[in-house]
Amino acid sequence: MLPQETEVLIVGAGPAGLALAAALQQAGLHPVIVDRLAAGQNTSRAAVIHAHTLEVLERLGIADALERRGLPLTRFALRDHDNALFELDFSMLPSRYAQILMLPQDETEAILAERLKTLGGSVQRGVTVTKITPDATGATAVLDTPEGERTLRARYVIGGDGMHSIVREAAGISFDGETYAGSFVLADVHMDWPLSSEVTMFLSPEGMGVIAPLPKGRYRLVAPVENAPEAPNVAFIQAILDARGPRKSPGRVRDVLWSSRFRVHHRVAAHYRSGSLFIMGDAAHVHSPAGGQGMNTGLVDAVVLGQLLADVLRGRAPEERLDLYEQKRRPAAAEVLALADRLTRVATVRNPVARVLRNLVLRALGASPVFGRKLALTLSGLARKGAGTVPPP
């Protein structure tokens, strides 16, 4: 049953929304979290949780549950068919989570939802926010619910509602950037695969492709493809592997569990706050899946914002403390966008001469332990560790 008033309304029950709701509930607050979907999505989408994200999620008491369900890997490799160009070893990270944890997004969301339930919270599903009107002391939201239209008054409204965020629109925050040309294929498959102990990015002349092992013997494939079908099938995925993957021990796709196509955007919001309205996750930043940064960045957004909101709403800090959210998290998102963009452009070089030069540079960089450590820290999020913490009030 929806109340008529709340201190915090969270729009969107994806990973960031669930993490924020859990953080606030854990702090003794009772946010309202709504989602237009009648049930959580059962597709895997984002599939990697990095070391810094796991450190941050310790604060919510779910890092151990994620590790129990996930598949820990320590190797990331760039390859041109059978030739290794560059390898990273994540086991050397200065963290108790010295790994790349592979876990489908639907399972991450299930763990977050269970934690929220344990803390006494729940998601109001089948509820669509149709209008938000901010004012000097908060905002009024109009909701389309299974019982009809409702109005909810909130001191703060948080948008975890994706790239087409109604909260960002109501706040009048611009979402600047661009869309990459072409489309990408995303698929989870069962297959016979020779590189089951690493995440592999192929930079073959025929095109880029990323293969990552998942729990329960599954594999994730991401690849740019011109005019990809809406739901790629076994034959389509197999053709990508045959063209771009290893030649000596090629992979063989047995079945496709789930697949889709998508366009890649490269955008960051001009601001993360406008008065009583805040945005986080994909409502604040979207970018290439290269490096597996998107969900991780949104989860850290949520935990940081949750701590700041709790400090203010529990009377431990003044309203101005909320300005720290944008100060901490927007520069971190800008760094992530730049990293994902660089990785995407390196991976999708088309000119044959440029590809040869790229491969020579990657081999040279791969011989440098200093560069390898720096890149591992960046991909893991540990290089941005300060952006995931706030000082005590």
Same domain for 258 and 202: yes
CATH code for the domain of 236: 3.30.9.10
pLDDT-above-70 percentage for the chain: 98
| Tens of pLDDT, residues 29-51 | 999 999 999 876 655 578 999 99
| Tens of pLDDT, residues 243-259 | 999 999 999 999 999 99
Question: Closest Cα partner for 57 from 332, 303, 295?
Answer: 303
Per the domain annotation, does 304 fall within a domain? yes
Q: What is d(CA 173, CA 170) in angstroms, rounded to the nearest whole number?
A: 8
Question: Looking at residue 40, what is its pLDDT?
Answer: 66
> For the chain, percent helix, then strand, then coil, each to nearest 5?
40, 30, 30
* Residue owning tokens 């763990």: 111
**333 token code pair:** 């998102």
**Beta carbons of 216 and 190 less than 8 angstroms apart:** no
* All residues at 6 or more sequence positions from 90 whose CB lies less than 8 Å from its CB, including other chains: 51, 73, 74, 75, 76, 98, 99, 100, 376, 380
Same domain for 276 and 150: yes
> b/e string for 345-361 if b means 16 or more Cβ within 10 A?
ebbbbeeeeeeeebbee
Same domain for 236 and 113: no
Per the domain annotation, does 274 fall within a domain? yes
**Beta carbons of 157 and 276 less than 8 angstroms apart:** yes
Question: Looking at residue 261, what is its pLDDT?
Answer: 86
Question: Looking at residue 42, what is its pLDDT?
Answer: 54
Instruction: Work out the angle at residue 291's Cα, subtended by the Cα atoms of residues 355 and 261, and round it to the nearest 5 degrees.
Output: 85
Same domain for 277 and 236: no
| Per-residue pLDDT at 290 exceeds 90 | no
| Per-residue pLDDT at 75 exceeds 60 | yes
| Per-residue pLDDT at 342 exceeds 90 | no
Same domain for 66 and 125: yes
| Tens of pLDDT, residues 186-241 | 999 999 999 999 999 998 888 889 999 999 999 999 998 887 888 899 999 999 99
In this structure, of 96-105, 165-174, 260-269, 286-295, the range with the lowest mean pLDDT score is 286-295
Highest mean pLDDT among 200-204, 262-266, 328-332, 366-370: 328-332
Signed CA dihedral, 103, 106, 110, 113: sign only = positive
| Tens of pLDDT, residues 300-317 | 999 999 999 999 999 999
Same domain for 293 and 155: yes
Per the domain annotation, does 392 fall within a domain? no
Q: What is d(CA 350, CA 354) in angstroms, rounded to the nearest whole number?
A: 7
- What is the residue range of 321's domain? 5-72+102-179+265-348
Average pLDDT over residues 379-386: 93
Signed CA dihedral, 270, 295, 28, 170: sign only = positive
Per the domain annotation, does 258 fall within a domain? yes
Of 203, 232, 262, which residue constitutes the final position of a domain? 262
Question: Looking at residue 228, what is its pLDDT?
Answer: 80
**CA of residue 125 relative to chain centroid, distance:** 22
Question: Looking at residue 348, what is its pLDDT?
Answer: 76
CATH code for the domain of 67: 3.50.50.60
Instruction: Work out the angle at residue 370's Cα, subtended by the Cα atoms of residues 365 and 371, and round it to the nearest 5 degrees.
Output: 40
Same domain for 324 and 210: no
Per the domain annotation, does 90 fall within a domain? no
Q: Which comes out higher in pLDDT, residue 131 or 39?
A: 131
Number of domains in the chain: 2
Question: Closest Cα partner for 218 from 83, 82, 361, 70?
Answer: 70
Per the domain annotation, does 144 fall within a domain? yes
Same domain for 205 and 281: no
Same domain for 337 and 313: yes
Signed CA dihedral, 383, 296, 290, 189: sign only = positive
Longest dimension (CA), the chain: 66
Question: Looking at residue 70, what is its pLDDT?
Answer: 97
pLDDT-above-90 percentage for the chain: 76
Average pLDDT over residues 339-347: 80
Q: How far apart are the first and last CA of the chain?
A: 34
pLDDT band at 101 (very low <50, low <70, confident <90, very high): very high
Per the domain annotation, does 236 fall within a domain? yes
The structure's pTM equals: 0.95
Question: Looking at residue 58, what is its pLDDT?
Answer: 97
Per the domain annotation, does 80 fall within a domain? no
**Beta carbons of 314 and 260 less than 8 angstroms apart:** no
Of 222, 245, 262, which residue constitutes the final position of a domain? 262
